[in-house]
Amino acid sequence: MRYIKGFYMGLGMFCAIPLPFFIWDEKLMSAMTATYPLVGAVVGALWWLISWGLIALNIPLMLAAATMALVPFLLTGFIHLDGYMDTSDAHLSRRDLEERLRILKDPLVGAFAVVMLIVLILFQFASMYTVMQGGRFLVLLAFIPVISRCCGALSIFFLKHLEISNYTKMLQGAKPGEKVFVVMLLLAATAGAYLYGGLAGLLVAAAAIAGSFLAILRMHKSFGGISGDILGFSLVMGELCGVIALAVIQNW
């Protein structure tokens, strides 16, 4: 029941999908972190189903690609995209640490955030256009959000937290098996991608893992820890790398 409630809390916090009622328990925040990849499973399943629906309805390719590029952001209420923009703005300012942290918390949108948003949308749309045009290995879309959130949850468990985040509080009362559970989910998602797509599936999984971890480690070094915004940045980058890899294999 602890993890069912944690999963439901995660859906309410990290998804824009309407839920019939609200649950929140401060004591279950570590369980919410451990089941965070399962929220990704819901997002990924819907992402794949929507791709199938667009193809079945013979939606024009350009419109289908634009829809698919936006789906993961729409399903999560743009919460991770907000973190991506805030982190980009602070990191690319190349100021001293104190100023970077101030910019990270600043609600105003800076020039670097806009530039990086344009870069993201260009690569996201181009990749999804190629994926929808090729129409191969679309089920792998279901695995990418699971993998990115596994990497995010492991980062919360193992990396230093910034004072501006509430991650330290979230892990109070964490159970020893929760870290193992996330690792098992990551291995299961990677194995599932491989069993479905073979080398292609393994490439997509590896790209999502590499993109997520490299992003989080780079930002951890830049800011001296992690926060919700930084985690959002790593999640967006991991999923983008997974989609780019999926686009590349369309011509194999």
Average pLDDT value over all residues in the chain? 93
Question: How confident is the model over 84-109, as a mean pLDDT?
Answer: 92
Question: How confident is the model over 51-62, as a mean pLDDT?
Answer: 96
Per-residue pLDDT tens for 3-48?
A: 899 899 999 999 998 888 888 887 888 888 999 999 999 999 999 9
Query: In the numeric block, which tokens belong to residue 68?
Result: 């698919």
The rounded distance, in Å, linking the Cα atoms of 194 and 203 is 8
Q: How would you classify residue 77: left for phi > 0, otherwise alpha for psi between -120 and 50, otherwise beta?
A: left
Nearest CA to 142 among 241, 216, 243, 232?
243
pTM: 0.95
**Residue found by looking up tokens 């926060």 in the block:** 227
Which residue type occupies 105? K
The rounded distance, in Å, linking the Cα atoms of 113 and 93 is 10
Per-residue pLDDT tens for 189-224?
A: 999 999 999 999 999 999 999 999 999 999 999 999
Q: How would you classify residue 69: left for phi > 0, otherwise alpha for psi between -120 and 50, otherwise beta?
A: alpha
Q: What is the per-residue burial (b if ≥16 Cβ within 10 Å, else e) of 120-159? A: beebbbebbbbbbeeeebbbbbbbbbbbbbbbbbbbbbee
Per-residue pLDDT tens for 151-198?
A: 999 999 999 999 888 787 777 777 888 999 999 999 999 999 999 999
Question: How confident is the model over 143-155, as a mean pLDDT?
Answer: 97
